[in-house]
Amino acid sequence: MIARRRSRAGTSVMTFATPAAPAPPDAPAAATHLGLHPEGDFVVTTGDASPIAPSAAFYFANEWIAVPRDGVPVSGFARGVRAFDDVRAWAASRASAQARDAHPPLVWLASPSRLRRARLAPDASRIAVDGRDHRFALAPRLALNRSWFDATSAAFLAARDVALRGRWNGDTFVARTLWPEDFRLDDAARLAPLPADRPAARSLRDLVRADGGGARAPFSTRLLWKRDAGTRPWAGKAALVVMVNGSQGDDDEAWGGHFALGTGRVGADGGIADLVVDNFYSLDIESEKGILAAPVPLDNYLADLNSGQAWYRPSALLVGILADDGAAARVQGALDRVYAQFWRHQLPYRHSTMNCTGISVDTLRAMGWNVPANDAGAAEVLLAWLAVPWTLARTRSVEATRTAYEYLTQDRTRLFPAVAFETLGADLLRLATGGASGDASEVERLLARDLEALVWVRVPQFPSSRAFGSWPIASPAEYERVVPKDPEARVVVPVPPRAFPPELRDPDLLPVPRPPSDLPLAVWGVVATATLVALVAWAMRTWVG
């Protein structure tokens, strides 16, 4: 439940509270944290009623968000530097040691009210909360959203207790997020490690791809590693999350899946809904799902009716349980700084060079985590160079040519969500079992010291009218094998652009670096020009002769 208070600007906002006699009643909130921080450190408001930066307010003006209350430390950023240089300097400074005190500038909640332990009627017309019945409705479906909640969705959710985010309209609760409350960690689970005779990254890929990606599989967890006995229960302990979302069954542009990091604390009952997921997404388009790039509670990230990944595809998580919150706080602090730079467009999003995976991996590397690279081989680089004139002639698009070259030549750890997931997962296992090396960074030393368990989590796709998805591809060659050969037969979702107002651009913003595809385009341009000149000269000599 939430109660009203006054913001720093003097406008009416809301703060977390539990009144004695709510009407209509919210179930008592079970969560005590939002991410790593006590929920009492935040107030719930909208962007236009809070003192967030103008660049962030452009995206969140009409959205429900949680912002740090007056007097609570907030993560900052440096001006006049690039995003990852900012993180690099911060990680090397004393300020990073106080990361556990600093809070995200905002967390996107999307809804003002929350219910726990609700039971949905089989026809989804009513909900029962704390022994009382209420009318129930769904938040509006976005115009670009091509599928929706149906009878299979109602049956799936009516079979269990659900947590809801939404708003009250009289005695009707209008839900935006529906999260199965039995989707939780089991700290009594028996150890089931990965095979010792296979590389950990390969075994993690096998888990992601098992059962066709797990879209129709039940929710499940598996304890891959644990430290000595005595480190359980996990309730209240800090967690670091690495997540990959699979491919969609109705979008040929989404075979690569999606990637995100997350932090927070395990709920009293093993709950993971209040972990915060750091979702990076293009700011310069209007997403058909209504996604906004921001830290967001895990239940929203997966179960929002429009933007929730679980309505589109299956997901796999690796949850690291930590004895201390130092490592998770440093990771979140670094990501908070990147968000500040991202919203103000110091860091531009680009699918082939700076996507959700690239931003996340580059942030970890900038703070000192030596995430292993999976660089393109010599044959792939050669193919990329040869593909430039062929792609340009076939598509007559410089942008398509750039994208093709960059997909073939980028480090796959920072390009493909699946590769980032298995690479980071294997590295967490390495740190847990082998400890940190002598030249390890502070975050690597903290992880090696504080990791107590690594838990694999499978979240299936929620049933709806949408086609079921699968596992995410891990290479350009794999993409070419799964998409229709005829480009006209490929299913894509056109989305409108969303321009960032020029007046919101800060004067200290540095110019955007040139894309790596500039070099081959320039070289092939010189080759084409030289060839044309030679042909003209030959033709003139032939004609004159």
The predicted model gives 390-395 an average pLDDT of: 91
- The C-alpha atoms of residue 280 and residue 294 are separated, in whole angstroms, by 7
- CA angle, 60 then 65 then 67, to 5°: 110
Instruction: Enumerate residues 6+ apart whose C-beta is below 8 A from 51.
Output: 7, 8, 9, 67
- Report which of 323, 333, 295 is spatially closest to residue 236, judged by C-alpha positions: 323
pLDDT band at 240 (very low <50, low <70, confident <90, very high): very high
The predicted structure's pLDDT at residue 545: 61
Residue 7 predicted with pLDDT over 70? no
The predicted structure's pLDDT at residue 271: 97
- DSSP codes joined into one string, 398-415: HHHHHHHHHHHHS-TTTT
Instruction: Enumerate residues 6+ apart whose C-beta is below 8 A from 218.
Output: 460
Per-residue pLDDT of 289-344, as tens digits, reads 999 999 999 999 999 999 999 999 999 999 999 999 999 999 999 999 999 999 99
Per-residue pLDDT of 248-275, as tens digits, reads 999 999 999 999 999 999 998 999 999 9
Per-residue pLDDT of 131-176, as tens digits, reads 999 999 999 999 999 999 999 999 999 999 999 999 999 999 999 9
pTM over 0.75: yes
The predicted structure's pLDDT at residue 500: 98
Task: Express as a percent the part of the chain with pLDDT over 70.
Answer: 94
- For 182, 256, 301, the CA distances from 359, given in Å and listed in that order, are 32, 15, 18
Per-residue pLDDT of 476-492, as tens digits, reads 999 999 999 888 888 88
Residue 367 tokens read as 């703070």
Whole-number mean pLDDT of the chain? 92
Per-residue pLDDT of 445-503, as tens digits, reads 999 999 999 999 999 999 999 999 999 999 999 999 999 988 888 888 889 999 999 99
pLDDT band at 429 (very low <50, low <70, confident <90, very high): very high
Residue 19 predicted with pLDDT over 70? no
- The C-alpha atoms of residue 495 and residue 488 are separated, in whole angstroms, by 17
Strand 172-180 with 315-322, pairing: unpaired
Quick one: which H or E segment has residue 140?
A: none
The predicted structure's pLDDT at residue 230: 62
**Site of tokens 């542009």:** 253
- Asked if 128 contacts 40 with a C-beta cutoff of 8 angstroms, the reply is no
Per-residue pLDDT of 43-101, as tens digits, reads 999 999 999 999 999 999 999 999 999 999 999 999 999 999 999 999 999 889 888 99
Task: Express as a percent the part of the chain with pLDDT over 90.
Answer: 84
| Number of helices (H), then strands (E), in the chain | 13, 19
The predicted structure's pLDDT at residue 11: 36
- Asked if 176 contacts 111 with a C-beta cutoff of 8 angstroms, the reply is yes
**Chain centroid to CA 363: how far?**
13
The predicted structure's pLDDT at residue 285: 96
Edge-to-edge strand list for the sheet holding 107-108: 2-6, 12-16, 42-46, 64-68, 107-108
